[in-house]
Structure 1
Amino acid sequence: MDKNQLGVQFMQEGNWEEAAKAFNEAIEEKPTDPIAYINFGNVLSAVGDDEKALKFYQKAIEIDENAAAAYYSIGNLLFSNDLFSEAKNMFETAMKKGLESSDNYFMLGLTLVSLEQGRFALPYLQRSVELNENDPEARFQYGLCLAQLELIDESMLQFEKCIELDPEHSDAYYNLGVSFAFKENVAKAVEMFNNALAIQPDHLLAGHAKRLIESNH
Structure 2
Amino acid sequence: MKKTHALLLITLLLAGTLTADVRGKLECFVVDMEKNPIEGVDVSIISIKMSTKQFIVKTNDKGKFTQIGVWPGYYQINLKKEGFQPLTTEVKVEIAESSQFQFTLKKVDEAIQEALSDADKNFVKGNRLFEAQKYEEAADAFTEAIQFNSDNWGYYFNLGLSYKKLNSREKSLDAFKKAHELNPESFGANMETGEALAKLEQFAEAKPFYQKAVEKNTDDPDLFYNYGVVLINLGESQDALAAFEKAVYIQDDYTDAYYQLGTLYIGQNKVEDAVKNLEKFLSLAPDHAQAPIARQLLEYLKK
TM-score by length of 2: 0.60
Match of 1:134 in 2: 219
Q: Does 1:201 align with 2:286?
A: yes
Instruction: Sort the Cα spacing of 1:2 and 1:27 in 2 relative to 1 into closer, same or farther, 3 A.
Output: closer
Partner of 2:199: 114
How far the C-alpha of 1:197 sits from its partner, in A, is 2.7
RMSD value, Cα: 2.7
| Corresponding residue to 1:12 among 44, 54, 78 | 54
- CA positional deviation for 1:71: 0.8
Task: Confirm or deny: 8 A CA contact 2:135 2:166 kept in the other structure.
Answer: no
Q: Does 1:211 align with 2:295?
A: yes
Whichever of the two has the greater Rg, that structure is 2
Structure 2: give runs of 5+ residues left out of the alignment: 1-39, 57-79, 84-112
- Is the alpha carbon distance of 1:79 and 1:213 closer, same or farther for their aligned partners in structure 2, counting shifts above 3 Å? same
The letter of the residue matching 2:294 is K
Q: After superposition, what is the alpha-carbon deviation per residue over 1:37-61, rounded to whole angstroms, capped at 9, x for unaligned?
A: 4354234223311122123212321
Deviation at 1:129, TM superposition (A): 0.6
Say whether 1:177 aligns with 2:267: no
Residue 53 of structure 2 aligns to which amino acid in structure 1? M
Q: Could you say what secondary structure the match of 1:86 adopts?
A: helix
CA distance in 2, matches of 1:165, 1:82: 30
Matched-pair contact (CA < 8 Å) for 1:66–1:97: yes
Correspondence list, 1:1-217, <5 A: 2-5=41-44, 11-12=53-54, 32-33=116-117, 34=119, 37-205=122-290, 207-216=291-300, 217=303
Percent identity between the aligned chains? 24
Shift of 1:107: 1.1
CA contact (8 A) 2:153 2:178 kept: yes
1: CA distance, partners of 2:265 / 2:294: 12
The unaligned stretches of length 5 or more in structure 1 are: 15-25
Counting strand residues as a fraction of each chain, which structure ranks higher?
2
Mark the CA change 1:204 to 1:123 in structure 2 (over 3 Å): closer, same or farther: same
